[in-house]
């Protein structure tokens, strides 16, 4: 039952529980989605065209009986579209090396009991056989998950003796969440293959690798995150070719450019940035903040595009230059964020919850040596910035372009981030220059961002600012938000209305 899957149909469209939706889902009445509603959400996500769903046990409460609830409620559908065969559910588990948690054992037992349940119904089993490890830092962490799951499966067999769990094997997916980890992922991937051979007597038949986009942007800035994604895609392909192990990159993309720029209205312009990817995350805002026919059309477009066997290949000199660029753009971003952070944290308190999350405040930078600046999660961070008309895509980008130009690296950016102008123009529609000017009178960080915006316009030859009616309405709401913030008045409703106009919380 739990044996290595030698033949695996790789899903292309992964629906996730990222809480970035401004509106209520098309199947519900409230924008807040409870744990008990997740079974309905999974069914609806599959029904509109997604072929995979990420069941999140990290940072939020999880329904341990979710698979039973899902299959029981929609038995006819899942008899025709069987889990683990036609439709996939994979689990993001807590990282026990980064946070104290007691959920990992429960997650294992939920997977095992779900397998018993689907077997009893004579359905394909197991329904869940892949784990995502967030913030992967070492290959040993992945092996630890596999070893402890195997022990749990064998212990379950020994105690209850009713169900055969095969080898007790679970597939693991490393999730890399910092610029440095993305650039250096090859080392961990190769070490994992070596350790896997040592522990299990064979290498895995395939490996999926998750490339984050939100947290690298949060920690190092917009341009650094995009270029780091490019580095990771190149490295994943290189290791796959070197070892002969098929590898399938997953890109974790949100709707707004800062978090990935993948949304139904922007898909044709933004998707080319992720050539080499085999799976794209379809987050809540993508599914719920656009008309359903538009969503379905976009999902079809992604599927057709990802079926093309694209690869990211470039030489070591280019790799080194791109890595240099990530540092060039990261430096001014970090300098400004360190000063902007107190206001971001204040504004983020007004961002509405969309899931039953465990209380958590992220640490600015998983990388050591960056400091102890605390920031909210990426969605709340992005929402806070956009809510006062300061799209975070611009922070550090202008000063980074100046340094890149001095070092003769602008042509490299044009080649490896060809959608930069398009993404900045999109973000620029939600810019509120008046707010920035007000803040610049008293804050050096605001003056730095003003410089970034001016330089972006000059070097890239673009004009930033509202263009259509809803952009101007968004600008007006962000003016209200800043004013209300100054006089300590509640601006929650304005924040949500602005998010509805831009079709994403953050």
| Neighbour tally for 418: CB within 10 Å | 12
Distances (CA, A) of 417 to 142, 231, 275, 413: 31, 12, 11, 5
pLDDT of the chain, 506 residues: tens digit per residue: 899 998 888 999 999 999 999 999 999 999 999 999 999 999 999 999 999 999 999 877 888 999 999 999 999 999 999 999 999 999 999 999 987 777 899 999 999 999 999 999 999 999 999 999 999 999 999 999 999 999 999 998 888 876 779 999 999 999 999 999 999 999 999 999 999 999 999 999 999 999 999 999 999 999 999 999 999 999 999 999 999 999 999 999 999 999 999 999 999 999 999 999 999 999 999 999 999 999 999 999 999 999 887 899 999 999 999 999 999 999 999 999 999 999 999 999 999 999 987 654 343 433 333 456 889 999 999 999 999 999 999 999 999 999 999 999 999 999 999 999 999 999 999 999 999 999 999 999 999 999 999 999 999 999 999 999 999 999 999 999 999 999 999 999 999 999 999 999 99
C-alpha distance from residue 215 to each of 65, 180, 198, 239 (Å): 30, 12, 32, 24
CA distance linking residue 213 with residue 208, whole number of Å: 16
Could you tell me how many helices (H) and strands (E) the chain has, helices first?
A: 21, 10
Q: Choose among 323, 327, 233, 221: nearest CA to 273.
A: 233
Quick one: pLDDT at residue 160? 82
Pairing, β 13-15 against β 374-375: unpaired
Task: Determine the pLDDT at residue 162.
Answer: 64
Task: Give the pLDDT score at 452.
Answer: 98
- pLDDT for the residue numbered 77: 98
CA 100/CA 341 separation, integer angstroms: 25
Q: Left, alpha or beta for 220 (phi > 0: left; psi -120 to 50: alpha)?
A: alpha
Burial class of 501 by CB neighbour count within 10 A (0 to 12, 13 to 18, 19+):
buried
Structure tokens given for 165:
């769990």
What does 160-187 look like in DSSP terms, one character per residue? H-----TT---EEEEEE-SHHHHHTHHH
The predicted structure's pLDDT at residue 496:
98
């Amino acid at each position: 039952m739990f044996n290595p899957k030698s033949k695996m149909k790789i899903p292309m469209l992964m629906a996730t529980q990222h809480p970035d939706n401004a509106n209520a889902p098309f199947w519900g009445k409230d924008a807040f989605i409870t744990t008990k509603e997740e079974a309905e959400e999974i069914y609806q996500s599959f029904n509109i065209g997604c072929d995979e769903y990420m069941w999140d046990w990290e940072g939020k409460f999880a329904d341990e009986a979710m698979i039973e609830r899902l299959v029981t409620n929609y038995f006819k559908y899942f008899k025709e579209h069987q889990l683990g065969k036609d439709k996939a559910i994979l689990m993001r588990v807590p990282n026990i090396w980064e946070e104290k948690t007691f959920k990992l054992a429960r997650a294992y037992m939920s997977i095992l009991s779900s397998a018993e349940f689907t077997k009893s119904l004579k359905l394909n089993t197991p329904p869940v056989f892949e784990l995502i490890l967030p913030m992967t830092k070492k290959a040993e962490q992945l092996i630890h998950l596999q070893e402890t799951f195997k022990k749990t499966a064998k212990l379950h067999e020994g105690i209850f003796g009713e169900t055969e769990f095969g080898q007790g094997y679970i597939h693991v997916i490393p999730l890399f969440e910092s610029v440095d980890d993305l650039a250096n992922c090859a080392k961990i991937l190769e070490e994992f293959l070596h350790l896997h051979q040592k522990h299990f007597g064979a290498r895995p038949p395939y490996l999926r690798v998750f490339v984050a986009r939100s947290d690298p942007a949060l920690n190092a800035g917009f341009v650094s995150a995009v270029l780091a994604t490019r580095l990771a895609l190149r490295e994943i392909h290189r290791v796959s070719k070197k070892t002969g192990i098929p590898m399938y990159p997953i890109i974790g993309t949100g709707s707004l450019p800062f978090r990935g720029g993948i949304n139904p209205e922007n898909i044709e312009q933004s998707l080319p940035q992720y050539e080499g990817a085999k799976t794209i995350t379809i987050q809540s805002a993508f599914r719920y903040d656009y008309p359903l026919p538009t969503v379905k059309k976009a999902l079809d477009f992604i599927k057709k595009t990802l079926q093309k066997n694209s690869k990211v290949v470039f030489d070591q000199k280019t790799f080194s230059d791109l890595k240099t660029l990530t540092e060039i753009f990261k430096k001014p971003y970090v300098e400004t964020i360190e000063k902007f952070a107190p206001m971001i944290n204040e504004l983020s308190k007004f961002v509405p919850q969309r899931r039953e999350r465990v209380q958590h405040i992220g640490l600015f930078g998983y990388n050591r040596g960056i400091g102890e600046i605390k920031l909210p999660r990426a969605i709340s961070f992005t929402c806070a910035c956009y809510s006062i008309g300061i799209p975070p895509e611009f922070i550090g980008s202008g000063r980074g372009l100046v340094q890149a130009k001095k070092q003769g690296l602008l042509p490299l950016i044009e080649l490896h981030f060809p959608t930069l102008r398009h993404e900045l123009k999109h973000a620029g529609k939600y810019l509120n220059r008046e707010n920035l000017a007000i803040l610049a009178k008293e804050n050096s960080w605001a003056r730095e961002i003003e410089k970034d915006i001016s330089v972006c316009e000059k070097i890239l030859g673009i004009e930033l600012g509202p263009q259509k009616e809803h952009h101007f309405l968004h600008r007006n709401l962000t003016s209200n938000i800043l004013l209300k913030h100054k006089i300590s008045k509640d601006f929650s409703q304005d924040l949500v209305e602005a998010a509805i106009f831009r079709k994403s919380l953050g």
